[in-house]
Structure 1
Amino acid sequence: MPSAASGETGTERGWFSRFLKAVEWLGNLLPHPVTLFALFALAVVIISGIAGWMDLAVEDPRPEGAGGRAEDGMIRAVSLMTGEGLRMIVSNLVTNFTSFVPLGTVLVALLGVGVAEHSGLLTAGIRLLVQKAPARLMTFAVVLAGILSNTASEMGYVVLIPLAAVVFHALGRHPLAGLAAAFAGVSGGYSANLLIGTVDPLLAGITQEAAQLIDPTYEVHAAVNYYFMAVSTFMIAGIGTWVTHRFVEPQLGTYDPSKAGDDVPPPRMEALAPREVRGLKMAGLAILGVIALFALTIVPEWGVLRDPETGDVLRSPFLRGIVALIFVFFLVPGVVYGWVTGSMKSDKDVVDGMAKSMSTLGLYIVLVFFAAQFVAFFGWTNLGAILAVTGANGLEAANLTGPLVFIPFILMCCFVNLMLGSASAQWAVTAPIFVPMLMLIGFSPEVIQAAYRIGDSTTNIITPMMSYFGLILAFVVRYDRKAGVGTMVAMMLPYTIFFLIGWVALFYLWVFGLGLPVGPEAPTFYTP
């Protein structure tokens, strides 16, 4: 395994390394990320004015009666360079910011994490992990944990990614390599998992509506891609580990602590004191108690956090309120550890821990303000939907048939994902085009959805349109004050490239080579 000091290897001198350095250089020529999002928002206003003046429009592929579908069946560009557009901007500037979902998610979750960190629980736990865990398996464990965290994706972004950087730092490896490995698992491997997540029923519902345009009786259940995505979990974890060792760590080189911000403490590797061991044991018992309490709310049929009408788990208040549960999950053991070790003696210490965690988010909050305006403006103007439909129509015009049709389909999904970061928003626009089109040439909606999820996942880690991109960039800046968008994109691009290659190869081997179903009761082919 290449070490963090292996900066002058053959990889470093290779063409791929030079390519990544060029990407980083070009990306870092861009202005500060906050300025960049402000310019993006301004550009959307100007482009929308031009598109509105040209009356740019495409035919809406969604069926009649679908939410958001215009009466004339067209998706039209909405100009923000009008009186109505200006009123919309002024009236919603504050609510765009306060209703930006990742902002509340991050703030609430980090209140609990801040207590666990301030008490010393996280530091002691990481030291124990570093001292006991096999170092050779650490990268694989980080990527795999990132993939599995997708069941509660906020926990992966808010907790696991910064934690992985701390673990790598404590191991004497580059902290950004740990951050990159975790980010690759959480976001690049978004569709892979061993469990059914909240995105599965959401996508299945959209797929079913699109399939019923051809076959009104067709049904798509939430687990239709489970077999393929479960196998993908281990493939993505393996590729992520290999990319980290082969490209990312050599490219990052030896870590220079002088580049870090003031809030990054040096890693502590001394043996745990008896009181810390006792604190960890009591915190472990507290964690088991919290988990047991959570289980009582969701496992029994009478669980109060199940859907009160259907008893369902996938659409339950438990999963919708996962951020509140993350808050409790870290708060309780953090307080217990602090009480046992003496690091927290009163409620003031608990409050100080929360306040300290909030004080580290200044850059992120500023960045979110402008990012939220950009995302809102882009959604109002319909430019993303118009680009998605235009790309889909172009692929349809190519008149491809047979299994090779999935290659341009997946690549188009990758491209659209750079502009529409929401998996459901992208699929809601493109599914009514592609699902009927590919059904008519003999492929099942289940296989079409599996292929879509490959394209939707792999470019998450290189697009600023991804909701948590700003948060991850703020984490990067903690360890390298001069880092910019180019640094982050260059660091994550190898994952995108090799995830895409590996996932497409697995898709063709699984579906067409071995003829295996992508999920339970999920046929590969459809007879019109």
Structure 2
Amino acid sequence: MSQEVKRKKGLFNRFLDMVEVVGNRLPHPVTLFALFSLAVIVISFFAAQAGVSVTFERIVIGTGEMEEVVVTAVSLLSAEGIRRIFSEAVTNFTGFAPLGTVLVAMLGVGVAEGTGLIQAALRKLVLSTPKKLVTVVVVFAGIMSNIASDAGYVVLVPLGALIFLNFGRHPLAGLAAAFAGVSGGFSANLLVGTIDPLLGGISQQAAQMWQPDYTVDPTANWYFMIASTFVITVLGTLVTERIVEPRLGEYKGDTEVSIDQVAENETKGLKWAGISLVVFIGIILALVAPENAVLRADDGQILAGSAFMAGLVPIIALFFLVPGIAYGIAAGSVKSDKDVAGFMGKAMASMGGYLVLAFAAGQFVAYFSWSNLGTILAVKGADFLEATGMTGIPMLIGFIIVSGFINLFIGSASAKWAIMAPVFVPMLMAVGYTPELTQLAYRIGDSVTNIITPLMSYFAIIVAFAKKYDENTGIGTLISSMLPYSIVFMVGWTIMFIVWAVLGLPLGPGVTMYL
């Protein structure tokens, strides 16, 4: 390696170290979210006093109709705002999006962990998987997990840390690799997920402003996203092994796991856990696969509007609970129902720190929404890009960057797209680009900055998971670990996008890039 390459690598690592140090010198995440909340309250007052507002047209999700909206900054220091801060504090906490998902899923995961199933299965994985493939498997599994909505955040991210720890590697590197796949690679997948029809419906309504009979299918970006799955897997693996893990160094924490051979009773437990899991999956398939299955939507859809998707969290909990109990009975770690209840209670007790963090984060997210500051930033960002006068590929690259920037402030992919699509879809149709191409550019930008914004609803729980292995872990540690993924994903995915555009490859079945 040349001295120049070493110097550049050293500069980048020093930059990441600076991000970590500065970030970790900030107060505890709970205090930080409290300070963020206070800042929003103060900024909202001055923004409202200045009469800051934006006017734009957006698509009404569900009806597809266009509506003109005037959004004005709302002061939270007004009488109404102060009343709301006090009266809705509890609902801000209980309504915090990830809270119920995490706690319900952890009931099942806690049993699987308490009985020893997860540990035994991981040791089995360690003994049967080539070490070189572990990072690839973790990143790829993270990407694929988004087919199950938010399940990857709750299940796969902590499992990524455990898998790396079992292999004698730094658990925070495994956590980062899984988080990068789950969140940074959110739009990539080999299958069509729930986000595809949602964004496609918004794109279609925006396209019909320019061409009334235009339709956008859920498979509009499918070919590109299939290829993206492999590209993001490779990039995520390289970042983990070349940048993140070397920075973290050798793990010197107190958390240890055994990598001994799987004992006879554990083998028996794994056998019965596997059998029970197959039976459970068979029951779920029976409730989903038939044409008129009970967990399908009224119109027969498996994904959109179905009880299957609405009930995915308890299904995930049962996915761990059923084999966990079967394993425990066979391996001897479950003697009665009291043991199962005890494992659940222990899992809930371990979430105490997260509950405190969720309360503070829930208030901040609610205040940011009430003040309308996020919407104002999104519209101003879109207006800025439109005013640049760029066209063609430079315009699309700028659109990716602006989408990534706006994503730092508004987490919902559909909410942002409902605001941005009516502006950019017709604009780019006017110069010959299909709505599917514009939607694709948006999805790239929307994915790559998920992993570095504290406003992402699951960011708080990732910090909580990381603290299990290093109490000194803070927001700075997590952001400095995830920033290389965000940069590499942004650059690599954009290059892939440009190459795809230059070659004129189809984006999905029957979908071209140009009108």
TM-score category, normalised to shorter length = over 0.9
CA change 1:294–1:66 in 2 (3 A) is closer
What SS does the aligned partner of 1:62 have? strand
Please name the residue that 2:477 is paired with.
487
Q: Which amino acid aligns with 2:133?
A: L
Q: Which residue is 2:445 aligned to?
A: 455
CA contact (8 A) 2:184 2:486 kept: yes
Residue 214 of structure 1: aligned partner: 210
Q: Distance in 1 between matches of 2:181 and 2:69?
A: 39
Q: Secondary structure at the match of 1:190?
A: coil
**Secondary structure, aligned partner of 1:257:** coil
Q: Which residue of 2 aligns with 1:228?
A: 224
What is the CA-CA distance between 1:466 and the residue it aligns to? Answer: 0.6
Answer yes or no: is the 8 Å Cα contact 1:12–1:250 preserved in 2: no
Structure-2 change in CA distance of 1:66 and 1:106 (3 Å)? closer
Secondary structure of the corresponding residue to residue 183 of structure 1: helix
Matched, 1:403 2:399: no
1:2-151 correspondence to structure 2 within 5 Å: 14-62=10-58, 73-151=69-147
Aligned residue pairs total: 511
Pairs within 5 Å for 1:76-475: 76-258=72-254, 264=255, 266-475=256-465
Indicate the residue corresponding to 1:516 in structure 2.
Answer: 505
Say if 1:443 and 1:524, in contact at 8 Å, map to a contact too: yes
Deviation at residue 26 of structure 1 after TM alignment: 1.3
Report which stretch shifted further, 196-205 or 12-21.
Answer: 12-21
Distance 2:75 2:260 in 1: 61
Structure 2: any 5+ residue segments left out of the alignment?
none
SS in structure 1 opposite 2:54? strand
One-letter amino acid of the counterpart of residue 169, structure 2: R
Rate the CA distance shift 1:471–1:68 in 2: closer, same or farther, 3 A.
Answer: farther
How far apart, CA to CA, are the structure 2 residues paired with 1:180 and 1:482? 16
For 2:144 and 2:123, the matched residues in 1 are separated by: 23
1:309 deviation in Å?
3.5
Q: CA RMSD in A?
A: 1.9
SS at match of 2:390: coil
Q: Displacement, 1:120?
A: 0.6
Mean Cα deviation higher: 59-68 or 116-125? 59-68
Q: Deviations over 1:127-186 (max 9, x none)?
A: 000011111000000000000001113321111111111111111111111111000000
208-217 vs 230-239, which deviates more? Answer: 208-217
Amino acid at match of 2:38: L
SS class of match (1:61): strand
Deviations 1:492-520 (A, max 9, x none): 111001111110011111122x2111111
**Amino acid across the alignment from 1:18:** R
The residue type equivalent to 1:16 in the other structure is F
1:366/1:494 Cα in 2 relative to 1: closer, same or farther (>3 Å)? Answer: same
Secondary structure of the structure 2 residue equivalent to 1:22:
helix
Q: Does structure 2 conserve the Cα–Cα contact (< 8 Å) formed by 1:462 and 1:492? A: yes
One-letter amino acid matched to 1:376: A
Quick one: structure 1 residues 13 and 453, their matched pair in 2 at CA, closer, same or farther if it must change by over 3 Å?
Answer: closer
Partners of 2:317 and 2:62 lie apart in 1 by 37
CA apart distance, 1:348: 0.4
TM-score, length-scaled by structure 1: 0.94
Distance 1:463 1:270, change over 3 A: same
Distance 1:72 1:482 in 2: 48
CA distance in 2, matches of 1:72, 1:127: 57
Are residues 64 and 250 of structure 1, via their aligned partners in 2, closer, same or farther at CA, if it must alter by over 3 Å?
A: closer
**Once the 2 structures are TM-superposed, how far is the Cα of residue 299 of structure 1 from its aligned partner?**
1.2
TM-superposed CA distance for 1:315, in Å, is 2.9
**For the residues of structure 2 that align with 1:166 and 1:508, how far apart are their CA atoms?**
37
Unaligned runs of 5+ in 1: 1-8, 259-263
User: Measured at CA, do residues 61 and 403 of structure 1 come closer, stay the same or move farther in structure 2, by a change above 3 Å?
Assistant: same
Could you tell me the TM-score, scaled by structure 2's length? 0.96
Amino acid at match of 1:518: L
Equivalent position of 1:6 in the other structure: none
Deviation string, structure 1 residues 471-506 (Cα, Å, up to 9, x no partner) = 000011111111111100000111001111110011
Question: Given the superposition, is the C-alpha separation of residues 523 and 332 from structure 1 closer, same or farther in structure 2, using an over 3 Å criterion?
Answer: same
Q: Could you say what secondary structure the match of 1:525 adopts?
A: coil
CA distance in 1: counterparts of 2:405 and 2:362, whole angstroms: 21
Letter in 2 for 1:371: A
Structure 2 distance, partners of 1:11, 1:344, is 56
Change (3 A) 1:65 1:157: closer
Q: Distance in 2 between matches of 1:122 and 1:211?
A: 48
Q: Distance in 1 between matches of 2:129 and 2:43?
A: 53
**Aligned 8 A contact 2:64 2:201 in 1:** no
Instruction: Give the percent of matched residue pairs that are identical in Structure 1 and Structure 2.
Output: 53
1:72–1:50 distance in 2 versus 1, CA, 3 Å: farther
